[in-house]
Amino acid sequence: MILEKIVLEKEREIENLKRRGKSLKERLGMEGLTLIAEIKRASPAKGLISSNFQPEHQLEEYINAGADAVSILTDEKFFQGSKELFRKLRGKTDLPLLRKDFIIEPVQVYESLFLGADVILLIASILEEGKLRDLYNLAHGLGLEVIVEVHTLEDLKKAMKTSAEIIGINNRNLHDFSIDLKTTERILQELEKQKLRRNYYIIAESGIKEREDIDYLKGLGVDGVLIGETLMRAGDPGKKIKELGIK
């Protein structure tokens, strides 16, 4: 009897462990454009983005400006991110947190859970179809939400063979780092053509700098935007969010 009680208690603890904080998917389902504001210090394409890097202040600015979720880079070598920073910021907000990294193996999915992530990113272009599906299913089974990131129609085909509910369209070409906002339009047109647009929440990523960009993406009907560099370079990120017309 004692052993059975212990096992039952462990099952309850595991369910609580798998239950994450607030849902990004729920935010995307609300009226208006969902903002995922990103915290990152550097990138391979632009080098050092924030020389006066104050992540806690940046997070506070995002919260005060009404961001719906926050993306935090954890890649150390190329983006100067930090897992320790992610864990630290987790304790300072109950907003959905996206762990932004190059996840290619199951151990990273488990790691994301223990870091306190609510959402992870899976990049279709760096994962074979089977691996993408397996990592997605693992994350979902652990109670994590997943953004499946695509850049090309080939990536989209992979994403559609998973149980993905959230698709992130990266307007940055990961091979040459060029930016083209029309990438979002092309992907959406393909989904409309296949009459599958309603099956997914769509997030536009990268290259969003001005209010005109937001207006363009709103016109396409995206559900959310992920903005990093523009907000990290802004002297007043809260003011910049208002200038962009998101909140």
Q: Are 67 and 36 in contact (CB under 8 A)?
A: yes
- Strand ranges, E, within the chain: 34-39, 42-43, 47-48, 69-73, 97-100, 119-123, 145-150, 166-170, 201-205, 224-227
Phi first, then psi: what are they for 129, rounded to 5°? -55, -45
Q: Residue 196 has what pLDDT?
A: 96
Summarised one tens digit per residue, pLDDT across range 146-165 is 999 999 999 999 999 999 99
Other Cβ atoms less than 10 A from the Cβ of 25: the count is: 18
Q: Residue 3 has what pLDDT?
A: 82
What CATH number does domain 22-244 carry, 3.20.20.70, 3.40.50.1000, 3.20.20.140, 3.50.30.10?
Answer: 3.20.20.70
Q: Residue 233 has what pLDDT?
A: 94
pTM above 0.85, yes or no: yes
Helices (runs of H) and strands (runs of E) counted in the chain: 11, 10
Q: Are 56 and 118 in contact (CB under 8 A)?
A: no
* Alpha carbon distances (Å) from 168 to 60, 118, 122, 160, 164: 25, 16, 9, 12, 10
- Please identify every residue annotated as catalytic: 38, 40, 100, 149, 170, 205-206
Summarised one tens digit per residue, pLDDT across range 79-115 is 999 999 999 999 999 999 999 999 999 999 999 999 9
* Cα gap 98→109, rounded to integer Å: 12
